[in-house]
Structure 1
Amino acid sequence: MRANLWLFSMALITLACSPMEKELKESLPDRWPNAVTYEIFVQSFADSDGDGIGDIKGMTSKLDYLQELGVEAVWLMPINPSPSYHKYDVSDYYGIHSDYGTMEDFQEFLEEAHQRHIKVIMDLVINHCSKLHPWFLNALKEDGEYRDYFVWADKAGIEAEGNLLKAKTGDSDNIHQWNEVSGQDELYFSFFWSGMPDLNYDNPKLREEIYEIGNFWLTKIGVDGFRLDAAKHIYPDHRAADNHAFWKEFKTKMETYKPEVYLVGEVWADLPTQAPFAQGFSALFNFDLAFSIMETVKNGQVVSATIHEHAWKVLDEGSPVTLFNESEKAFKQYNPDFINTTFLTNHDQNRVMSFFENHEKKAKLAASILLTLPGAPYIYYGEEIGMRGLKPDELIREPFLWETKNDSMRTQWMEPTYNTTNVVAPLSVQRKDSGSIFNHYKSLIHFRRKSAVMTYGEVEQIDLANDELLAFTRSHAGDTVLVVHNLSSRVKRIRQLEPYSLILFTTSKKVRQTADVLALPPYQTIILSKPQK
């Protein structure tokens, strides 16, 4: 045990010079596509020209920041022309919204990102378009050339079937799915809102139009892939098989244009509904896992964990680990190359800090769990500086805080409710604070990226006979590490950690060990390995 204590002491000395307290100078290995991706709402991110609206040039100027953080890809919320601030109702699939810049600006951004080995994934919104799109404006004429690009039905028939209204869903509060056109008997279908008419994928000509749009962005412009919005709704739920078949065809088409294309889908549903979609995507956002991580931290205990007498018996139910493994098995049944995409919240959900009622230690712990589990994690812009926000949607998409004063890059398109410098420390302040949430994210991302076992390792949950501890091993290529998260507000004294005695990483310098007990402070994380012989 003395040798182990010596190793433990040396680890603590190393931690004094950890990534939490110094700028990492060494280069980091490329881990794409098993890498961390950063979601950006361009409108709120960085303003280069002082017009108050975030733009592509501003985003380009912040690529060094993203490289510093350690992310290897960005997902851009829609950048196409649109009449709405969020731009999920596209009026031109081949353009850049004028507030954001020009196509030349975007190509410069792509070039600069790729020079930094950062991939660029753009939101492609093809379930619906804007009611101002030329297709739909033409389709409003009953004899319009593009009438069949959209879904129409006779009002009497819809009412007879009882389908005039729909129930609210997790991804849509809209109940008025059929919309009247003045002077016409037929109504058009829109799952989300009358301003977003759904496209008709039973029309082969429409499909080919969409495939050509994908081809344009992948080959002529050079993006690395797409995030596919509302992928669950290409066809109604009762036509799930048609939905799966479409996305499989879409993936095949995109791979003919760019074999290494990355396609991540939004299928906001439970695992059984999600799993068959895997055949048409590189990845899907794992909503069940996200909810499990957040609820585990909120409740301060492993969900449905069964306590066993033997400290090392593997749990067989509940918890983020179980959900990850169940989803991995389900997804890979349909696609052996599938990448399990993990996250905490995104632009459609209340922000992490506000979910935890501004409890920073819980927000950090949620990040610790996310970034120590397998998969390809996504973080939402501002999450890494503790930005806050509760719905409605505008208030979870507020401007990023760069500086305390004279913040020329901060966007002004809206007056923030939750994110002012009085309550959220800007990035410039957090960079200098080794205990900030920014440095917490940065150190975890860098550690994960440097470690093959943390990037690629399989996960197995471990029972430490305490449901306030989430513990699991990560194993890869003969290497195994033990990860322990303290979910509680109390110091946890943990026994029986042998043979894991060498600290590789911890979120706290206050970890202590006696001859046979490890003391882990509240809401903190430790990663241990076996000492080399």
Structure 2
Amino acid sequence: MVADVATSTNLPTSSQAITGHTGVHYEIFVRAFCDSNGDGIGDLNGVTSKLDYLRDLGVSAIWLMPINPSPSYHMYDVTDYYGIASEYGTLDDFRRLIREAHQRGIKVILDFVINHTSRQHPWFVEACKSKDNPYHDWYVWMSQQEINSLNIATREITADSQERNPWHRVPGAPFSEKYYALFWSGMPDLNYDNPAVRAEIYKAGKFWLTEVGVDGFRLDAARHIYPDWEEPKNHQFWEEFGREMESVKPGAYTVGEVWTRAERIAPYFRGLKANFNFDLSLALQEIIGKERDTAGIIPMLLHNHTVFAQVNPQFIDAIMLTNHDQSRIGSVLNGNLSHLKVAANLLLTLPGNPYIYYGEEIGMLGAKPDENIREPFLWDVRKNDKNRSRWRRATYSTDATVTPLAQQQADPQSLYNHYKRLIHFRNSHPVLNDNLSQLEASGIQHKTVLAFVRRSGQRSVLVLHNLAKRGTEVLIYPQEAAEGRKIVLDTIGSARMVKGGNVRVPGYGCVVLE
């Protein structure tokens, strides 16, 4: 067991680019995270007050879900691209958050929602006044005849949108055209064939990067900048977007939400530095519960990485267990502590840039609908918890179902301390902390063990995950691969090398050899 890795975070300095050795990223729903003023709503000052917690955990970047003004609780329908939602605070509060985060070696990534606006956005309000209004062409409009001729009146439900009927009429409008809104009628899609729209969005992005100081963007609905039938246009758009952002802030980080198979994700790496790996997320959920690699994760990743590298050899695979659109890993695994520790083991040793969804480190629960997977963070038992958000009454993550952070911090065997030890070990290791390290097959075949090699330059590690409860002996093949190797991480504390170079891997344990 590695006991001394928690003494140093080994985070990147502010001068380092956000690619390469960037550590672990942490996704925050501000409304649910920490309430600093007692109004029941999580806010930016609350996030600032918990930066020491995040630094201590070992986090190197935070991704804030949308913080722009919006009529919705989730804020994915923006009404002002230059403002801060009043219930979250002010622009000065956000600048202070960024300044304090940077002092702790933590980057700040902003959720930039540019596929669509709110229908309450002043642009769309103007667009609905007449076809001659200058803002009308800022959105996607078609007559019913045009829609029918293109056979696009309906669409198939996809993992990222349940909308089957994306065309909507404006009640009382002086024209009959319908507007396109992929997600729902309250989120009309912007028209990126209009140079004025591109110019305005680029201007807004540059504002946050240069005048406010964010380090990059998570790009919502990156696959849907153009409507489904024009998807190839997205690739050119993101190339241009990347160049525009890079022109004002070299090294600005971009990570896209592109929820589809690898061959269709790959072209997005021409403009975006990272993309989320939803296939891996679903595969991990499957194999942890079944306690065996039924998904063929390493062959899948080797294939996907080859596909990505053909487009961009510097691609960053953004990996996660779950995020704000998926039932929480805690509920997927029925709160099983051993399985949740295995999940952490996998997330923090597989190649790529890992993302933790707030509360995963304490085993928060939640299942669809979305509100139930965005419940308040449990800092302490309720009677002592002055920072707990009250934006909604929790259905899944309560004191009765989830041990609050304060109690987990005092328990060396808690899920929180398991995450903390793993993150600090990852941060301290030049191979595991290299987003651009190479994945290699291990040659090891065992029904309950997931094994792989990661290589960075001249260094490599062999990683062994026992997915099952029973300890097992792993034959390292070829035999010479075991020679000279030593155990540098043992999450359970009872792993050992045995005769012939084999390794005894404890049940639910992760062993790293170098």
Question: What TM-score bracket applies, with the shorter chain setting the length?
Answer: over 0.9
Assess if the C-alpha contact under 8 Å between 2:11 and 2:105 holds in 1.
no
Partner Cα separation in structure 1 for residue 154 and residue 460 of structure 2:
53
The answer as to 2:45 corresponding to 1:57 is yes
Other structure's SS at 2:318 match? strand
Partner Cα separation in structure 2 for residue 475 and residue 206 of structure 1:
43
Structure 1 position 434, deviation (Å): 1.1
Assess if the C-alpha contact under 8 Å between 1:481 and 1:500 holds in 2.
no
Structure 1 position 157, deviation (Å): 3.0
User: TM-score scaled by structure 1?
Assistant: 0.90
The answer as to 2:250 corresponding to 1:268 is no
CA 1:521–1:200: 2 relative to 1, 3 Å: same
Assess if the C-alpha contact under 8 Å between 2:8 and 2:424 holds in 1.
no
1:376 maps to which of 349, 353, 375: 353
- 1:491 maps to what in 2? 471
Partner Cα separation in structure 1 for residue 454 and residue 146 of structure 2:
56
Partner Cα separation in structure 1 for residue 325 and residue 412 of structure 2:
30
The answer as to 2:309 corresponding to 1:325 is no
Other structure's SS at 1:277 match? helix
What is the correspondence of 1:102-251 to structure 2 with a 5 Å cutoff?
102-142=90-130, 143-183=132-172, 184-251=175-242
CA 1:136–1:501: 2 relative to 1, 3 Å: same
Partner Cα separation in structure 1 for residue 503 and residue 245 of structure 2:
51
Partner Cα separation in structure 2 for residue 495 and residue 323 of structure 1:
23
Assess if the C-alpha contact under 8 Å between 1:263 and 1:283 holds in 2.
yes
Amino acid at match of 1:60: T
1:86 maps to which of 61, 71, 74: 74
Other structure's SS at 1:294 match? helix
Cα deviation, 1:381-412, whole Å, max 9, x if unaligned, reads: 00111001000000000000001132010000
Partner Cα separation in structure 1 for residue 300 and residue 367 of structure 2:
26
What is the correspondence of 1:288-367 to structure 2 with a 5 Å cutoff?
288-303=279-294, 318-319=296-297, 321-367=298-344
Other structure's SS at 2:154 match? coil
Other structure's SS at 2:231 match? helix
The answer as to 2:506 corresponding to 1:525 is no
Moved more, 354-363 or 151-160: 151-160
Structure 1 position 300, deviation (Å): 1.8
2:7 maps to which of 12, 25, 28: 25
Amino acid at match of 2:428: K
CA 1:490–1:202: 2 relative to 1, 3 Å: same
- 2:438 maps to what in 1? 458
User: TM-score scaled by structure 2?
Assistant: 0.93
- 2:423 maps to what in 1? 445
CA 1:514–1:265: 2 relative to 1, 3 Å: closer
**Matched residues, percent identical?**
48
Partner Cα separation in structure 2 for residue 513 and residue 188 of structure 1:
65
Partner Cα separation in structure 1 for residue 37 and residue 164 of structure 2:
40
Other structure's SS at 2:348 match? helix
Amino acid at match of 1:113: A
Assess if the C-alpha contact under 8 Å between 1:482 and 1:500 holds in 2.
no
In the alignment, structure 1 segments of 5+ residues that lack a partner are 1-11, 305-317
- 1:396 maps to what in 2? 373
Partner Cα separation in structure 1 for residue 369 and residue 395 of structure 2:
11
CA 1:26–1:244: 2 relative to 1, 3 Å: closer
The answer as to 2:490 corresponding to 1:506 is yes
Amino acid at match of 1:137: V
Moved more, 187-196 or 229-238: 229-238
Amino acid at match of 1:503: I
Partner Cα separation in structure 1 for residue 271 and residue 389 of structure 2:
37
Other structure's SS at 1:111 match? helix
Structure 1 position 59, deviation (Å): 0.4
Instruction: Say what the alpha-carbon RMSD is for the aligned residues.
Output: 1.7
The answer as to 2:452 corresponding to 1:472 is yes
Structure 1 position 292, deviation (Å): 2.1
Partner Cα separation in structure 2 for residue 190 and residue 206 of structure 1:
16
Assess if the C-alpha contact under 8 Å between 1:471 and 1:482 holds in 2.
yes
Assess if the C-alpha contact under 8 Å between 1:475 and 1:481 holds in 2.
yes
Other structure's SS at 1:378 match? strand
Assess if the C-alpha contact under 8 Å between 1:512 and 1:520 holds in 2.
yes
Other structure's SS at 1:74 match? strand
Partner Cα separation in structure 1 for residue 472 and residue 225 of structure 2:
49
Partner Cα separation in structure 2 for residue 338 and residue 512 of structure 1:
36
Moved more, 323-332 or 513-522: 513-522
Structure 1 position 454, deviation (Å): 1.4
Partner Cα separation in structure 1 for residue 106 and residue 9 of structure 2:
14
In the alignment, structure 2 segments of 5+ residues that lack a partner are none
Structure 1 position 27, deviation (Å): 5.2
- 1:8 maps to what in 2? none
- 1:424 maps to what in 2? 402
Partner Cα separation in structure 2 for residue 465 and residue 106 of structure 1:
50
Partner Cα separation in structure 1 for residue 496 and residue 428 of structure 2:
25
Structure 1 position 351, deviation (Å): 0.5
Cα deviation, 1:213-237, whole Å, max 9, x if unaligned, reads: 1111111111111111001011123
CA 1:25–1:489: 2 relative to 1, 3 Å: closer
Partner Cα separation in structure 1 for residue 357 and residue 59 of structure 2:
12
